[in-house]
């Protein structure tokens, strides 16, 4: 018999013994755990590359490496962080949390769930192996513009291309699974508008993934044939156009950045109400804002291309469309703040990360608005201002929410509490150092320092040194983070089923360490109502 059904005893479908459990598993919690550890490993590798970048930029002049290797570092850093760390971490959170939040036993397509994960180590391995190939790793930036990535790239690029294919395949399967889970495994008594926001944001993110990742696959496929089979998609001598590559890439790329931030919005929308001890302000407007951000994200891509010589009508259209995204984003920030307004707030670690998310992400949103002004972008484009912008939205946005989620749900994952005192030290260490790291990059960019260059002229020296020192401190903060998490798993004090006083959500009705299959019988309407975010 290859199935286990809910009527069996619990021990029938508890975890298998031994290492093979992790290879064979079809359990959403196991797979979530695998995703999270994989993402964490990639975060450390990507972080190590970033340390190399900041070391080279500590002082003007070429100190440690030749420019070509520097370019490999920036390229691989970006690719690993986006495709290896942030995206898998969110899929891991989704795996762990969505079945619990919708009152289901597991994901809808558990075997495919296993495959979504088990493609990743192979794709990551292929990607990392390019470092050891002749000609080195890809060095054309994480955006791999043609012709840098076609005519002028090393052989290892073909391996990079296949790694992207595999990563995309994994993401698409993961997204399909989440859609099927939310739409089909949800407790029968849970209406769509009862769903917690993390579920909503992931559902919408899944549509972004399914719409955008195949386009990326198409882009790298065209790269592949341009490189190896004599096609001329991105080659003007054959009537193609390198700028076309940018259009296709950013048609994927802009939805991609929202793929990395919408689930973060979801996480924060859970944590803030808990520690403000108030229902989420404007639940339905949050849902609609998420949906409109997702829609708009498909029609603003060329704000990354203001300097490619687009027709003026194009510049204007993409500028105004981009500005429009600020409206639903503003709705969200407004709702988070209104949730806190007159709440009985306490500041446990998850809340610290969530509140600083709101603050720091908003800084990133504002710099995004500045970049979205086409005439101003002529000055900012390809400078450190852009680097500062996307690190505020991605590090203090996406990554922040992942860390916040880790602390918030760690008790439910492990049945144990982490060390609150140490976690607070870690928070302040990280939040200060990350600003020392990225805030000066705004000034560098406004003063004209170009991105992706290992050397710089002398007037940029001070801010670069400050930024590098902040970078090393921020990097080191992850040692403490690792310690806190492992310490919690090993020696943490037992947690209660609902460790946070104000927390709502079906996941908190489960055992302190959630049982292997979350809900064997669907929760009742009363339970769903009393655990909903907007009672």
Partner 1 sequence: MNEKEYYIPDGTYWPIIGSIGISILLIGFANQMHGVSWGSSAMVLGFAITVFMLFGWLGQVVNESVNGQYNQQVDRSFRWGMSWFIFSEVMFFAAFFGALFYARMLSVPWLGGADNNIFTPDLWNGFSATWQQVAFTTPGTTLQSGTAISIPTKLVEATGLPALNTILLLLSGVTLTLAHHALRSDNRNQVIGWLVATITLGVAFLGFQVMEYGHAYADGLKLTSGIYGSTFYMLTGFHGFHVTLGVIMLTVILFRVQKGHFSANNHFAFEGVAWYWHFVDVVWLGLFVFVYWV
The CB-nearest residue to ligand HEM is 368
Query: What token pair was written down for 344?
Result: 């009985």
Nearer to Cu ion, 254 or 381 (CB): 254
Other beta carbons within 10 Å of 384: 30
330 near partner 1, judged by CB under 8 A: no
Shortest separation between residue 234's beta carbon and partner 1, angstroms = 9
Per-residue contact track with partner 1, 24 to 43, x per CB under 8 A? xxx-----------------
Nearer to Cu ion, 258 or 438 (CB): 258
Nearer to Cu ion, 254 or 442 (CB): 254
Q: Has 304 been annotated as catalytic?
A: yes
Binding partner of 285, given Cu ion, ligand HEM, partner 1, none, CB within 5-8 angstroms per partner class: none
Nearer to partner 1, 158 or 455 (CB): 158
Binding partner of 39, given Cu ion, partner 1, ligand HEM, none, CB within 5-8 angstroms per partner class: none
535 near partner 1, judged by CB under 8 A: no
| Residue for token pair 């990225």 | 438
d(CA 406, CA 506): 18
Binding partner of 377, given partner 1, Cu ion, ligand HEM, none, CB within 5-8 angstroms per partner class: ligand HEM
Shortest separation between residue 394's beta carbon and partner 1, angstroms = 24
Shortest separation between residue 250's beta carbon and Cu ion, angstroms = 7
d(CA 315, CA 308): 10
Shortest separation between residue 154's beta carbon and partner 1, angstroms = 11
Q: Has 517 been annotated as catalytic?
A: no
What is the dihedral angle through the alpha carbons of 74, 460, 360, 381, rounded to the nearest 10 degrees? -60
Nearer to partner 1, 106 or 531 (CB): 106
Q: Has 303 been annotated as catalytic?
A: yes
Query: What token pair was written down for 430?
Result: 């990280």
Nearer to ligand HEM, 81 or 484 (CB): 81
List all residues 6 or more positions away from 222 whose beta carbon is below 8 Å from its beta carbon.
231, 233, 234, 245, 248
H/E element, 332: helix 312-340
**Residues 117 to 156: which contact partner 1 by CB under 8 A?**
118-119, 121-122, 126, 147, 150-151, 155
Stretch in the footprint of Cu ion (CB under 5 A) among 225-233, 252-260, 353-361, 397-405: 252-260
Helix (H, G, I), strand (E, B) or coil at 454: coil
| Binder of Cu ion out of 13, 77, 186, 254 (CB under 5 A) | 254
Cα radius of gyration rounded to whole Å, the chain? 23
Identify whether the C-beta of residue 353 lies closer than 8 Å to the C-beta of residue 427. Answer: yes
**Residues 60 to 119: which contact partner 1 by CB under 8 A?**
104-106, 108-112, 114-115, 118-119
Stretch in the footprint of partner 1 (CB under 8 A) among 181-189, 267-275, 288-296, 499-507: 181-189
d(CA 8, CA 204): 34
Query: What token pair was written down for 52?
Result: 């190399």
Binding partner of 149, given Cu ion, partner 1, ligand HEM, none, CB within 5-8 angstroms per partner class: none
Shortest separation between residue 383's beta carbon and ligand HEM, angstroms = 8
| Cα–Cα distance list, 220 to 164, 226, 249, 485 (Å) | 8, 10, 9, 38
Shortest separation between residue 350's beta carbon and ligand HEM, angstroms = 20
Q: Has 452 been annotated as catalytic?
A: no
Binding partner of 150, given ligand HEM, partner 1, Cu ion, none, CB within 5-8 angstroms per partner class: partner 1
Q: Has 171 been annotated as catalytic?
A: yes
**Residues 266 to 295: which contact partner 1 by CB under 8 A?**
none
In the complex, the residues that contact ligand HEM under the rule CB under 6 A are 143, 257, 260-261, 303-304, 322, 325-326, 329, 365, 368-369, 371-372, 377, 380-381, 386, 389-390, 393-394, 397-398
Shortest separation between residue 224's beta carbon and partner 1, angstroms = 9
Nearer to Cu ion, 93 or 257 (CB): 257
Q: Has 206 been annotated as catalytic?
A: no
- β partners of residue 383: 450
Identify whether the C-beta of residue 249 lies closer than 8 Å to the C-beta of residue 145. Answer: yes
Binding partner of 21, given ligand HEM, partner 1, Cu ion, none, CB within 5-8 angstroms per partner class: partner 1
| DSSP per position, 189-258 | T--GGGS-HHHHHHHHHHHHHHHHHHHHHHHHHHHHHHHHS---TT-GGGT--HHHHHHHHHHHHHHHHH
| Residue for token pair 């769930």 | 113
Stretch in the footprint of partner 1 (CB under 8 A) among 35-43, 88-96, 180-188, 328-336: 180-188
Identify whether the C-beta of residue 307 lies closer than 8 Å to the C-beta of residue 378. Answer: yes
**Residues 406 to 425: which contact Cu ion by CB under 5 A?**
none
| DSSP per position, 338-390 | HHHTT------HHHHHHHHHHHHHHHHHHHHHHHHSHHHHHHHTTBHHHHHHH
Stretch in the footprint of Cu ion (CB under 5 A) among 124-132, 249-257, 380-388, 400-408: 249-257
**How many CA atoms lie within 13 Å of 263's alpha carbon, on the beta-carbon side?**
33
Q: Has 77 been annotated as catalytic?
A: yes
User: In 381-446, at which residue ranges do the beta strands (DSSP E only) sit?
Assistant: 416-417
Q: Which residues of 264-279 are buried (b: 16+ CB within 10 A; e: fewer)?
A: bbbbbbbbbbbbbebb
Catalytic residue set: 77, 106, 142, 170-171, 254, 256, 258, 269, 303-304, 329, 332, 451
């Amino acid at each position: 018999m290859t199935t286990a059904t809910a009527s069996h005893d619990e021990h029938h479908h508890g975890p298998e013994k031994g290492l093979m459990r992790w290879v064979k598993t079809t359990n959403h919690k196991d797979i979530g755990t695998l995703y999270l550890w994989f993402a964490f490993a990639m975060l450390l590798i990507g972080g190590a590359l970033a340390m190399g970048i900041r070391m080279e930029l500590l002082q003007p002049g070429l100190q440690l490496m030749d420019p070509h290797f520097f370019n490999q570092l920036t390229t691989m850093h970006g690719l690993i962080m986006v495709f290896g760390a942030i995206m898998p971490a969110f899929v891991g959170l989704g795996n762990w949390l969505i079945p619990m939040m919708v009152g289901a036993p597991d994901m809808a397509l558990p075997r495919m769930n296993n495959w979504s994960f088990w493609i990743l180590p192979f794709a990551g391995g292929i990607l990392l192996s390019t470092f050891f190939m002749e000609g080195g790793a890809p060095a054309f930036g994480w955006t791999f513009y043609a012709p840098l990535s076609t005519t002028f790239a090393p052989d290892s690029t073909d391996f990079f291309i296949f790694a992207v294919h595999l990563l995309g395949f994994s993401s698409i399967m993961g997204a399909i699974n989440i859609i099927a889970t939310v739409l089909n495994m949800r407790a029968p008594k849970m209406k769509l508008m009862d769903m917690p926001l993390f579920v909503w944001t992931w559902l919408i993110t899944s549509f972004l993934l399914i719409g955008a990742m195949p386009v990326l696959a198409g882009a790298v496929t065209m790269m592949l044939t341009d490189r190896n089979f004599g096609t001329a998609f991105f080659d003007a001598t054959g009537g193609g156009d390198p700028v076309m590559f940018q259009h296709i890439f950013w048609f994927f790329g802009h939805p991609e950045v929202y793929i990395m931030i919408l689930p973060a919005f979801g996480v924060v929308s859970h944590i803030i109400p808990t520690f403000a001890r108030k229902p989420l302000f404007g639940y339905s407007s949050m849902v609609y804002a998420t949906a409109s951000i997702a829609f708009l994200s498909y029609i603003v891509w060329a704000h990354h291309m203001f300097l490619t010589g687009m027709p003026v009508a194009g510049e204007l259209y993409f500028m105004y469309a981009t500005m429009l995204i600020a409206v639903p984003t503003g709705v969200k920030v407004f709702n988070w703040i209104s949730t806190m307004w007159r709440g009985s707030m306490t500041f446990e670690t998850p809340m610290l990360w969530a509140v600083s998310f709101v603050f720091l992400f908003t800084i990133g949103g504002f710099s995004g608005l500045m970049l979205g002004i086409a005439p101003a972008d002529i000055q900012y484009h390809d400078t450190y201002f852009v680097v500062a912008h996307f690190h505020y939205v991605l590090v203090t946005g996406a990554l922040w929410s992942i860390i916040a989620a880790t602390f918030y749900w760690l008790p439910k994952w492990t049945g144990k509490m982490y060390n609150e005192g140490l976690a607070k030290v870690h928070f302040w260490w990280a939040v200060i150092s990350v600003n020392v790291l990225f805030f000066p990059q705004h000034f560098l960019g406004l003063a004209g320092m170009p991105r992706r260059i290992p050397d710089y002229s002398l007037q940029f020296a001070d801010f670069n040194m400050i930024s590098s020192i902040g970078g090393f401190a921020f990097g080191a903060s992850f040692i403490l983070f690792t310690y806190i998490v492992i310490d919690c798993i090993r020696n943490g004090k037992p947690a209660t089923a609902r460790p946070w006083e104000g927390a709502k959500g079906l996941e908190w009705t489960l055992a302190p360490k959630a049982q292997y299959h979350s809900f064997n019988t669907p929760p009742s309407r009363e339970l769903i109502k009393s655990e909903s975010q907007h009672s």
